[in-house]
Amino acid sequence: MDFYSAFLVIIVFLIGLSFGSFLNVVVYRLPKKSSLVTPPSSCPACENRLGFIELIPLLGYLILKGRCKHCAMKISLRYPLVELTTGLLFVLIYTYFGLTIDTLFYLTLLFLLLAIALIDLEHRIVPNTMVAVGLGLGFIFYIPALADLWLNLPAWMVVKRNVIDAAGGFLLGGAIMLIILLVSRGGMGAGDMKLMALIGLYVGLRGAALVMLLGFFLGAVVGVTFMVLGKLTRKDALPFAPYLSLAALIEVLWGEQIWNWYLNLLN
């Protein structure tokens, strides 16, 4: 890797850390229906406004040794971990897709999914606001693709996902989850149905099928493991958004390889 490439990776990582800091705000405030802008971030214990050092993603936590400088309250390790995870996610997608519109496209999806997964883990809800934002941005991404059917637009403006494929993924994801919702009589939440429709819009028809299969598989593995360990019973419900989100990440990065491996097994 040359100096220029390494410099870009560092910049992408720093941008990811900043988005991770904002993601922490979203995860903390959105379920409470609080403003994401005001009031400024403050310590939940002493309510002192966070200073410049404290607001530096990841580095601020390390400098302060994980404690508020005013009251010495211990800061949750979740905050730097979310920032670090988001930074690494940005680097991973950038490294895979390069400096293209597809990087922005998939980062939009995965950033929202990470926020939704964290909220679902803590509050057992899939926020309609996050789903609506994801759908709205997704449709905006596809506008150049639609225009490209009649106009010869530059390649950098057009995502590689076919619009018809995206529509198929949106319908398939939502429809199958709706059927499961009706059959299970509450075993599957309406939020999961909306979330799967959102994911399908970004990953397409075949991708939606793979995400659902992987999501159910990952959820089953974790559920069985927790039951064996005695930390879960058959009556307990697991939040499903984290498994769909992880499955979506796997599909974005390795979906084609998984499908090719599966098709080779059939031959």
- Closest C-alpha among 242, 248, 232, 100 to residue 258: 248
pLDDT for residue 242: 95
DSSP collapsed to 3 states, 84-142:
HHHHHHHHHHHHHHCCCHHHHHHHHHHHHHHHHHHHHHHHCCCCHHHHHHHHHHHHHHH
Lowest mean pLDDT among 30-39, 75-84, 163-172: 30-39
| Interval 119-174: pLDDT, tens | 999 999 999 999 999 999 999 999 998 888 888 888 888 999 999 999 999 999 99
Which pLDDT band, with edges at 50, 70 and 90, does 40 fall under? Answer: confident
Helix/strand/coil for 37: coil
Number of H helices, E strands in the chain: 9, 0
User: What is the residue extent of each domain of the chain?
Assistant: 1-99, 126-267
Cα separation, 211 vs 8, whole angstroms: 31
Which pLDDT band, with edges at 50, 70 and 90, does 187 fall under? Answer: low
- Tokens representing 222 are 């974790």
Amino acid at 72: A
Q: Which residue do the tokens 């211990």 mark?
A: 74
Cα separation, 93 vs 235, whole angstroms: 38
| Interval 81-99: pLDDT, tens | 999 999 999 999 999 999 9
Q: Are 101 and 157 in contact (CB under 8 A)?
A: yes
Return mean pLDDT, the chain: 89
Does the structure show a pLDDT above 80 at 48? no
Torsion sign, CA atoms 95, 127, 210, 219: positive
Cα separation, 166 vs 138, whole angstroms: 9
Does the structure show a pLDDT above 80 at 1? no
DSSP letters, 153-180, are: --GGGS-SS-HHHHHHHHHHHHHHHHHH
Lowest mean pLDDT among 103-107, 112-116, 145-149, 247-251: 145-149
